[in-house]
Amino acid sequence: MAFTAELAEQADPAIGQEIIQVRHDDGHTEELRLHDYERLYALPGVYEQIVHERLGCRSPAELAGMLGDAADGLGWDRGAMRVLDIAAGNGISGEALRAAGMHPVLGTDIVPSAREAALRDRPGLYDQYLTLDLLALTDEDRAAISALGANALSCVAPVGAHGSELPARVLVTAASLLGPDALVVYMHDPQRGVPDVMTTEVWTSGLGAGTEVQELARRRYVHRYTVNGAPFEMDGVVWRLRRAG
Give 128-170 pLDDT, tens digit per residue.
999 999 999 999 999 999 999 999 999 999 999 998 899 999 9
Runs of H (alpha helix) within the chain: 37-41, 46-47, 59-73, 92-99, 112-121, 139-146, 168-175, 200-207
Domain boundary among 54, 70, 88: 54
How does pLDDT run across 61-114, given as a tens digit for each residue?
999 999 999 999 999 999 999 999 999 999 999 999 999 999 999 999 999 999
Is the pLDDT at 225 greater than 90, yes or no?
A: yes
Do 230 and 153 belong to one domain?
Answer: yes
Do 32 and 109 belong to one domain?
Answer: no
For residues 39-52, give the mean pLDDT: 93
User: What confidence score (pLDDT) does residue 245 get?
Assistant: 61
Do 67 and 120 belong to one domain?
Answer: yes
User: What confidence score (pLDDT) does residue 244 get?
Assistant: 78
Average pLDDT, the chain: 95
Question: For residue 45, which of 91, 9, 88, 85 has the smallest C-alpha distance?
Answer: 91
Number of domains in the chain: 2
Predicted TM-score of the model (pTM): 0.95
Range of the domain at 21: 3-54
| Angle between helix 200-207 and 168-175 (nearest 10) | 50
Cα distances from 39 to residues 32, 43, 45, 131, 216, in angstroms, run 8, 7, 12, 16, 37
The burial of 188, by beta-carbon neighbours within 10 Å (0-12 exposed, 13-18 middle, 19 or more buried), is given as buried
Do 46 and 68 belong to one domain?
Answer: no
Do 139 and 153 belong to one domain?
Answer: yes
User: What confidence score (pLDDT) does residue 26 get?
Assistant: 85
Percent of the chain exceeding pLDDT 70 equals 99
Do 70 and 44 belong to one domain?
Answer: no
